[in-house]
Amino acid sequence: MELLKVEHLTKVIKKKTIINDLSFTINSGEIVGFLGPNGAGKTTTIKVIMGLFSITNGSVRICGKDIVTEFEEAMKNVGGIVENPDLYKRMTGRGNLRYYASMYDNVGENDISQVAELVKMGERIDDKVKSYSLGMRQRVGLAQALLHKPRLLVLDEPTNGLDPIGIKELRDLLKYLAKKAGTGVFISSHLLSEMEIMCDRIYIIDNGVLIGEKSINGHDDSQEEEHIFKYSFITNNNEKVYSIFKSMNTNCSLTESEVQLIMKRSEIPDIIKSLIGEGIDIYAVNQKQRSLEDDFISMTTGSKSQIR
């Protein structure tokens, strides 16, 4: 089921276009990442989705409800953390959750205790927030977002302040919510390796424009010839091969034992023919699995290649 539908979304602030014509969807039961360099427009997009910024053009629908014309109905279905959680430091964690729970119908003490345990804060929930570390505040913020059992969870850098164990626990929790409860999760983070483990799909944004989408769990084999891969070439003259690749304006690198090249699969036969024509002996050409980091760097440093 489609939980979030963003269509042709544009946001202009002080005559500057921050996000430009964004369109994407989030479905029930999937975790979708949102990546981009600093200043790309990630937080602005999330603030628009959460109703914190107005829409200049386009539309956002949550569970079929337009956030402009049906704001309250739409927001009943979404929970989120935008930047750092906004907590009252002189109150306890439980006091903050009680205050937040008062904004919703049918959220009681049992719900507060359950979400506190869910985010591993059961033993500290009655301490004052001012005694919490940043990671603990992030956990309470997540508990706030989960209190009313939202169908869509929107998280902006939720791993801030979490140690490796806390990051793994967050990952496990989000996977549990997605797979067991059918929650849709939209998450931005700078931790590319973690996003690759956690997410089903990734959207990449740069300068306010959506520049790519990557499926983490596989791709369409029927279009494999047009997919981008990393290849390693082992030859009798790797330095000459590297020089040839550079002259062709390809995305390549040279190591002690091989030359690495990022290119469409369909272009590799012509590459091999050109190397043979230059008198190069080719001992091996190996296709390597591209990482999310490879795709992210390729997309956000001006490459014209599409990612898959």
- Mean pLDDT value across the chain: 88
2-215 CATH = 3.40.50.300
- 118 burial via Cβ count (<10 Å: 0-12, 13-18, 19+): middle
Which regions of the chain carry the CATH code 3.40.50.300? 2-215
Mean pLDDT of 275-279: 94
What is the tens place of the pLDDT at every residue in 85-140? 889 999 999 999 999 999 888 899 999 999 999 999 999 999 999 999 988 999 99
What is the tens place of the pLDDT at every residue in 27-84? 999 999 999 888 899 999 999 999 999 999 999 999 999 999 999 999 999 999 987 7
DSSP state of 221: G
Candidates 3.20.20.70, 3.40.50.720, 3.30.70.980, 3.40.228.10; CATH matching 221-300? 3.30.70.980
If you write DSSP's letter for every residue of 66-86 in order, what string do you get?
ETTTSHHHHHTTEEEE-SS--
Which regions of the chain carry the CATH code 3.30.70.980? 221-300
- The H or E element spanning position 11 is strand 2-13
Tell me whether strands 201-206 and 209-215 are parallel, antiparallel or unpaired: antiparallel
Read off the pTM. Answer: 0.73
